[in-house]
């Protein structure tokens, strides 16, 4: 697998307080998503933000990582459901920082027991490139449970 590059474009107009930007994916998967300081910090008002985009990245990255680890162990998932919440906070003397990413995971995995599943979840967190990315500066929490399934609890 060769190195990969992905890009996104933003157009911003104005100063921070009253300005506005639009976010577009290089692939065209999403285009012209509006955002502003007010929608980032105060209330989303149907506008995305950098933290929301990071949450989408982490949720999708972790889902793939978990599927990979489960399949390597001979128990590929029927379904993995990941909700990621990214928190930004104002840190004394350092301004706004992304401080936490919390993952809630529910998975339907035939043929795995609860303990093995939790071990695989840990491996998935260690192997997830997005977890590795932000671990140096933010906390990451993963809460995972099995749902239904042949041998699930």
Partner 1 sequence: MATDRRAEATWQGDLMSGSGTIESVGSGAFGPLDVTWASRAEEPQGRTSPEELIAAAHAACFSMAFSNVLAQAGHPPEHLATTATVTFEPGTGITRSAIDVEGSVPGIDEEAFRAAAEDAKDNCPVSGALKGNVELSVTARLRNA
Please, what is the minimum distance in Å from the beta carbon of residue 107 to partner 1?
A: 9
How deeply is 128 buried, as exposed, middle or buried, from its count of CB atoms within 10 A (0-12, 13-18, 19+)? buried
Per DSSP (E only), the strands in 14-76 are 20-25, 33-35
Contact 114, 146 (CB under 8 A): yes
Considering beta carbons, is residue 95 or 115 the nearer one to partner 1? 95
Please, what is the minimum distance in Å from the beta carbon of residue 66 to partner 1?
A: 7
Please, what is the minimum distance in Å from the beta carbon of residue 117 to partner 1?
A: 15
Please, what is the minimum distance in Å from the beta carbon of residue 118 to partner 1?
A: 18
As given in the structure block, the two tokens for residue 54 are 């990071």
Considering beta carbons, is residue 90 or 122 the nearer one to partner 1? 90
Listed in sequence order, the residues at least 6 apart from 137 whose beta carbon sits closer than 8 Å to its beta carbon are 97, 98
Distance CA 32, CA 114 (A): 43
């Amino acid at each position: 697998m060769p190195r990969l590059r992905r890009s996104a474009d933003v157009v911003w107009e104005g100063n921070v307080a009253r300005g506005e930007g639009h976010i577009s994916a290089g692939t065209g998967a999403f285009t012209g998503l509006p955002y502003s300081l007010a929608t980032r910090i105060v209330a989303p008002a149907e506008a995305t933000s950098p933290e929301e985009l990071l949450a989408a990245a982490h949720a999708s990255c972790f889902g793939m990582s978990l599927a990979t680890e489960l399949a390597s162990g001979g128990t590929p998932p029927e379904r993995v459901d990941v909700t990621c919440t990214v928190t930004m906070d104002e840190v004394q003397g350092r301004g706004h920082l992304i401080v936490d990413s919390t993952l809630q995971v529910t998975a339907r995995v035939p043929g795995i027991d609860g303990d093995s599943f939790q071990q695989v979840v840990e491996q998935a967190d260690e192997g997830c490139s997005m977890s590795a990315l932000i671990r140096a500066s933010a906390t990451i929490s993963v809460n995972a449970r099995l749902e239904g399934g042949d041998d699930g609890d």
